[in-house]
Chain A
Amino acid sequence: MVTIIILDGLNYAANLFLVSVGLTFVYGVLRILNISHGALYALGAYMATWLTLLLLKVGLPDILTYFTLLVGAIIIGLVFGPLIERLALRRIYGSDIHIQLLLTYSILLILDDLMKLVWGTDPLFVSEPYSFIGMFEVSGILYPWYNILLMGVAVVFGSFLIWLVRRTRFGKIVVSVIYDREISAAMGVNVGLIFTVAFSIGAFSAALGGAFIAPTIAVVPGFAIEVVVMAFAVIAIGGLGSLEGAALGALIVGLARATSIHLFAELELVVIYLIMVLVLAFLPKGLFGEVEERRI
């Protein structure tokens, strides 16, 4: 029973981390609370599922479906990241947060309709990546290996982002641009390009979450909205903009939810928001909110 609770908790934590990592990354790097994150997450799921289904039809071996999920997320990051940043976000850096929320919410609505226009309202789903690696037995019940794979993707991708921001030249330039745009420009940094690249990585992160969660669910219009509400709860617990915070927030929420499902199922939904309330009551900026001045 305890093993199952831990496994279920870690699995949900991986899901939550993949949903929220792009949101916290964009806030951490660009200081934009990106409501359109939900649409980018959904676009990742749609594109990855559609691409995988298309290639399966022409005879793609099942093992390569993991690759097509990744490609789907990259396409969304490459297309929509620069598009949204150049056309919309660029005009509002430094603006009041209300403007940011209104603008990114409008983008969410536009992208939501775009998805309906392209993929219709019927559910779209692919099962091969989920079923290909099969099941293992634990405490007398079957458990999918894909859930373990999701945990792996969450750990690897989270570590990659931390490495990118902390250990690379690109990361250092991003930090300098966030800290002082004008001085960075005076030092020869192409500030516009850095913003575009940084937001595109954020868009890719959102899409990657959607792409890898897609094989476990049915992708339908509006499916991401509720999931993203949960992502906001996670990053509020962890501290806005902190990758480590998102990871810890996801872990706490994941384990608490799994425990409540197994022991006090009535509290499944309450427990998540209860944790958020408790954390914010004592640490208004979240668990990692004040550890560093710059959070990534």
Chain B
Amino acid sequence: MRKMKVISGFVIGFFVIGLMFLSVSTPMAAPPKGAPAKFKVAFVDFFSGTAAVFGIGGKNTSELLVKQWNKKGGIRGVPIDLVVIDEAGGPKKQVTEFRRLVLEEKVDAVVGYTSSGNSLAIAPVADELKTLTVIHIAGTHQLNDKIGKGGYTFRTSVNQAADSVILARYLMKVMPDIKSIAGIQPDYSWGRDSWEAFKVAMLALKPSIKVKAELWPKLFAGEYSAEISKLMLSKPDVIHSSLWGGDLISFVKQAAPRGLFKQSTVLLSTGEQVLMHVKGIMPDGVVALPRVTAGYFLDPDPEMDPLQKEFVESYYKAYKRYPEYTTYRTYQAWAGLKAAYEKAIDILGRWPTTEEVISAFEDLAYQAPGGTIIMRSDHQAIHGGVIGVTKFSEEYGFPILVDRVRIGAEEITPPFGMKTMDWVKTIK
């Protein structure tokens, strides 16, 4: 009996070792016919100046994904070669940089652009140079006019109006009796557009809403005492703010001790991004969201979603922090690019031309850690978003979002072919 066990042990052992050999010696799938030796992609985001808070997460994600995917054979056996470029310097510089990337560095595709101004300047040049460009963060709805009729540019996250509409929808679900609102926004296009979409959406959903204050501090003002006094004196039920990064932290630092967050419900459209930094200064009960982004590091639950688990764990292992919205949006862009190439290769049985990839990208549904992203034929992706309320977590050492609600793409995105603000005015 014992001899039998030893023999069967040997047999299993040999079988396992054999399998290991097999897996080691099996070459990765051969690249498709006509494939280049490497697939060169530029990632463009801010790594200097105040907007560097956006770029670092994006760069980390790009490097992590390229490394992980290359280990598994890149895109159908073709390794990805990553070039990282700083987005600072304004649209003129970025257009020159884009031309250099395409003409001199010979990149096959470009991923990136956080600034709306830069994205608007790049889209026509991408068409001119016939270079596939995937916009990962820039939110202006004006970009839809430039990319909506085909061309070489895609946007893999919903536009900025969704960040405001999702908050309006959420408010009507959790505070249907709300009577008044106020806003404090940085005085440039992002702040102006955010507030306009929020105010219009609130008035569409509840026409009796009163607007008690609209405040416009200068971008990077840092000092908000007078604005906070005004908000405290006007006592709105809800305060909406699109302040971000250091400005948002400064605002919270000055407003929280004065009791503003106790007096009114505060909504922060980019609040999630600062939570890991603010530690104890963010009060509990603030409504915050990672803009409209399909993923949050606790949602979907990593234990229930293998892709989310792999991303959160590997990102934390590599950078000792959890992914936030810029990282998820970067993932959405890279995953879209990869899925489009793979779909085209699978259909054609060879390496595709850029135009063939564009056809494959249109109407493509693909997976990202936050769920399914659908790329419409107008080159605008749609997906839902997660929204929650801050609560300090002893486990993580910073506030996390609890009581999370998911709101679907259909509630926050205009129907195909409809202009964004025309739609916001008519939402019900």
B298: Cβ under 8 A from any A Cβ: no
With A131-B257, A262-B230 already in contact, the answer to whether A12 and B223 are too (CB < 8 A) is yes
B215 to chain A, nearest CB (A): 5
Residues of chain B within 8 A of A221, CB atoms compared: 48-50, 52
A116: Cβ under 8 A from any B Cβ: yes
B residues 191-237 in Cβ contact with A at 8 Å? 213-223, 225-227, 229-230, 232-233
B246 close to A220 (CB less than 8 A): yes
Residues of chain B within 8 A of A116, CB atoms compared: 48, 52
With A131-B257, A226-B220, A262-B229 already in contact, the answer to whether A217 and B56 are too (CB < 8 A) is no
A265 close to B220 (CB less than 8 A): no
A217 close to B226 (CB less than 8 A): no
B253 close to A216 (CB less than 8 A): yes
How many residues on A have C-beta within 8 angstroms of the other chain's C-beta atoms? 45
B277: Cβ under 8 A from any A Cβ: yes
Residues of chain A within 8 A of B223, CB atoms compared: 11-12, 15, 213, 216-217
Residues of chain B within 8 A of A5, CB atoms compared: 226
For the A-B complex, the count of residue pairs with Cβ-Cβ distances under 8 Å equals: 128
A141 in complex: contacting residue of B215, B221, B232, B281, CB < 8 Å: B232
A155: Cβ under 8 A from any B Cβ: no
Q: Chain B 46-71 against A: per-residue CB contact (8 Å), 1 yes, 0 no?
A: 00111011001000000000000000
A169 to chain B, nearest CB (A): 38
B49 close to A222 (CB less than 8 A): yes
The answer for the CA separation of A135 and B218 in the assembled complex, in Å, is 26
With A1-B233, A135-B258, A141-B229 already in contact, the answer to whether A261 and B215 are too (CB < 8 A) is yes
With A121-B53, A121-B56, A268-B218 already in contact, the answer to whether A217 and B229 are too (CB < 8 A) is no
**Considering residues A11, A127, A213, A265, which has the most beta carbons from chain B within 10 angstroms of its beta carbon?**
A265
A220 close to B245 (CB less than 8 A): yes
A261 close to B230 (CB less than 8 A): yes
How many residues on B have C-beta within 8 angstroms of the other chain's C-beta atoms? 38
B225 close to A11 (CB less than 8 A): yes
A143: Cβ under 8 A from any B Cβ: yes
With A142-B259, A144-B258 already in contact, the answer to whether A12 and B226 are too (CB < 8 A) is yes
Residues of chain B within 8 A of A227, CB atoms compared: 220, 222
Q: Chain B 137-170 against A: per-residue CB contact (8 Å), 1 yes, 0 no?
A: 0000000000000000000000000000000000
The answer for the CA separation of A122 and B220 in the assembled complex, in Å, is 15
B362: Cβ under 8 A from any A Cβ: no
| Chain B contact residues, CB within 8 Å of chain A | 48-50, 52-53, 56, 187, 213-223, 225-227, 229-230, 232-233, 245-247, 249-250, 253-254, 257-259, 274, 277, 281
| Chain A contact residues, CB within 8 Å of chain B | 1, 4-5, 7-9, 11-12, 15, 116, 121-123, 125, 127, 130-131, 135, 139-144, 147, 213, 216-223, 225-227, 257-258, 261-262, 265-266, 268-269
Query: 8 A-B residue contacts at CB 8 Å?
Result: A8-B229, A125-B281, A144-B258, A147-B225, A220-B245, A220-B246, A258-B226, A269-B216
Apart from A123-B249, A222-B49, A265-B230, what 13 extra A-B contacts exist at CB < 8 Å? A8-B225, A12-B226, A116-B48, A121-B52, A122-B277, A127-B281, A147-B225, A216-B250, A223-B246, A226-B218, A262-B230, A265-B214, A268-B215
Smallest CB-CB A-B distances: 9 pairs:
A218-B249, A220-B246, A8-B226, A226-B220, A217-B250, A222-B50, A218-B246, A141-B232, A261-B226
